[in-house]
Amino acid sequence: MESFTNILLTLDGLLGSSPWFPYVLLGTGLFFTIYLKFPQVRYFKHATQVVRGKFDKEGDPGDTSHFQALATALSGTVGTGNISGVALAIFIGGPAAVFWMWATAFFGMTTKFVEVTLSHKYRVKTDDGTMAGGPMYYMDRRLNMKWLAVAFAIATVLSSFGTGNLPQINGIASSMEATFGFEPLVVGAVLGILLAMVILGGIRRIAAVTSKIVPIMAVIYLIGAFAVIFANVGNIGPSFAAIIGDVFTGSAAAGGFLGAGMAAAFTKGVNRGLFSNEAGQGSAPIAHAAAKTEEPVSEGMVSILEPFIDTIIICTITGLVILSSGVWTEKFENEFDRSDMTIVAGAYVESNEQDHANIASFVGGGEGHGVELFNGTIQVVSGKALNRDFTVLNSRSFADDVIYKLSSENDLYTGSLKVVDGAIEKDNIVVSGKSLLHSATLTTKAFTRGFFGESGQYIVSIGLLLFAFSTAISWSYYGDRAMTYLLGPRSVMPYRVLYVAGFVWASFADTTLIWHLSAVAIVVMTLPNLFGILLLRKEMKETVDDYWNKFGNK
């Protein structure tokens, strides 16, 4: 697993976390925004009318209504990215990461409009009478690039696991264990059975379930979020000021937070923004292809609403909860995940300005800090280290009150621990102490700082359960449409079995591994889609013009 994690980290460094990827993603959205004259602004009102069914016609081809298609696509995007992803972005990039999530969403509204319109235009009716669509169909039927369509479809199958499946149940299981003490495997098994029962019914059952889950989960989550925001209303102004003010300067150190540069905020904000709303990834067009309409542009209009709801509304609210509550700079007692923990040589002191700066540079990937990984032995008696020639870092912060225990017996450890390249070699040792938190645990902690007190954590757990489970449902449909394109309808059932099995496995797998996998899977799906829609830019403009000729110029 460690070798696989290193491979994923290398791939992520070359792809999603690379300097060029955010520019490609935002650049495509910016290009289409200017090329189509800001459709996300001009067509917003019309989009709300379409989704309400104002222009529906009896007998339009398709399997779902506009609202059901929107709900299915939203259930595919509103998931752990809105709860865990926002927290992770702030944890790494500071408040300014939220701004870049906004930018990704604003330009992503246009990108999604384009990809959904083109995919809907070239959808097909399968042998069982249902609709099938997505970028692979316009790549094949319009661009005559079978190789690109196949590459996208394969990436979709991989991303159905890396985006919609594995990280979703992992976030659910972690939250349920932290809040209710439920064993992750039990959570995975129970939800795996429910998942199988839903996805076997195909798009009609999926649409029926998601159209009911999405409104309920939004209301529950918003109630809990505003309970925190109103309880900390005095911090809302400073939170917005930090989001905007830190954009071009980076975030200064605060509390246990070591600070973050502009590059970290930009990269993680864009990356998490894409994970949240999936604009440009090509996933939503697969759900929208099932909508009942003869007008591809009308369904493209509906998709404009997705990044707005998903990122600009829900992710912003999550960000304000985390920032206004102040938990993002505080250290809390927790068990250290090995992948989050690093031991460095030397006794660094957090209160020492130079030590703080050196560690901050080390954590941020800077140079000239002089910090080196620890190689040696830690002598431990009754859970506490005797030697002081090292410093434990966890979750990008100085770790305090560190305790070493035996994982099997939960007893305080006494003995020696060999450390190689900053990592403890013994597998049966649990290290705990105080450090910063990230992902779902950070959001969960923030929800306890509102009017509901400690009970607020239950809202996160329930919200995460509904958000993430509905995402897994929708992504199973994306994957089976891709499998249908690649290998035909007979391949769908084996795919679904593997999808459910992976869902159960990820409930107890390493969190960091899951996030690395999802980061890579997103990008390998996005790049072919962006390439394809750019090639069809002129056709997109002509299609939109033809649409407005029917409804009157806009």
Which pLDDT tens digit goes with each residue over 342-375?
A: 999 999 999 999 999 999 999 888 888 899 999 9
- Banded pLDDT at 512 (limits 50, 70, 90): low
Residue 174 region, left (φ>0) first, then alpha (ψ -120 to 50), else beta?
alpha
Residue pLDDT, tens place only, 280-300: 888 889 988 888 888 899 989
Strands of 239-383 (E only): list them: 332-335, 341-345, 376-381
- Closest to 256 measured CA to CA, from 439, 397, 361, 93: 397
Has residue 554 got a pLDDT over 70?
A: no
Q: Which of 382, 413, 435 is the last residue of a domain?
A: 435
Residue pLDDT, tens place only, 76-126: 667 667 777 888 889 988 999 999 989 988 999 999 999 999 999 999 887
Query: Residue 76: what pLDDT?
Result: 66
With respect to residue 550, please indicate whether it lies within any of the assigned structural domains: no
Query: Residue 62: what pLDDT?
Result: 63
Cα–Cα separations (whole angstroms), residue 391 to 254, 373, 401, 544: 20, 10, 12, 60
Highest-confidence segment of 6-10, 74-78, 86-90, 434-438:
434-438
Q: Are residues 159 and 254 in the same domain?
A: yes
Q: What is the mean pLDDT of residues 316-324?
A: 95
**Packing angle of the helix pair 20-35, 511-535 (nearest 10 deg):** 40
Q: Are residues 402 and 281 in the same domain?
A: no
**What is the reported pTM?**
0.83
The whole domain housing 70 covers 2-330+446-545
Query: Residue 16: what pLDDT?
Result: 66
CATH number of the domain encompassing residue 505: 1.20.1740.10
Q: Are residues 378 and 410 in the same domain?
A: yes
Burial class for 222, CB neighbours closer than 10 Å (0-12, 13-18, 19+): middle
Strands 131-132 and 376-381: unpaired
**Spatial separation of the C-alpha atoms in residues 101 and 352, rounded to whole Å:** 34
Query: Residue 25: what pLDDT?
Result: 85
Cβ(79)–Cβ(168) under 8 Å?
yes
Q: Which of 401, 435, 469 is the last residue of a domain?
A: 435
Q: Are residues 178 and 309 in the same domain?
A: yes
Number of structural domains in the chain: 2
Query: Residue 395: what pLDDT?
Result: 93
Q: What is the mean pLDDT of residues 267-291?
A: 81
Q: Are residues 369 and 220 in the same domain?
A: no
**Spatial separation of the C-alpha atoms in residues 471 and 464, rounded to whole Å:** 10
With respect to residue 552, please indicate whether it lies within any of the assigned structural domains: no
- Would the CA dihedral through 490, 492, 496, 499 be positive or negative? positive
With respect to residue 315, please indicate whether it lies within any of the assigned structural domains: yes
Q: Are residues 514 and 400 in the same domain?
A: no
Lowest model confidence (mean pLDDT) among 150-154, 176-180, 292-296: 176-180
Q: What angle do CA 455, 309, 541 make, to 5 degrees?
A: 165
Q: Are residues 537 and 390 in the same domain?
A: no
- Would the CA dihedral through 348, 350, 353, 359 be positive or negative? positive
Query: Residue 228: what pLDDT?
Result: 96
- Would the CA dihedral through 448, 454, 456, 457 be positive or negative? positive
Per-residue tokens: 323: 């920032």
Query: Residue 396: what pLDDT?
Result: 93
Full DSSP string of 100-134: HHHHHHHHHHHHHHHHHHHHHHT-EE-TTS-EE-S
Query: Residue 259: what pLDDT?
Result: 84
With respect to residue 367, please indicate whether it lies within any of the assigned structural domains: yes
SS3 readout for 239-264: HHHHHHHCCCCCECCECCECCECHHH
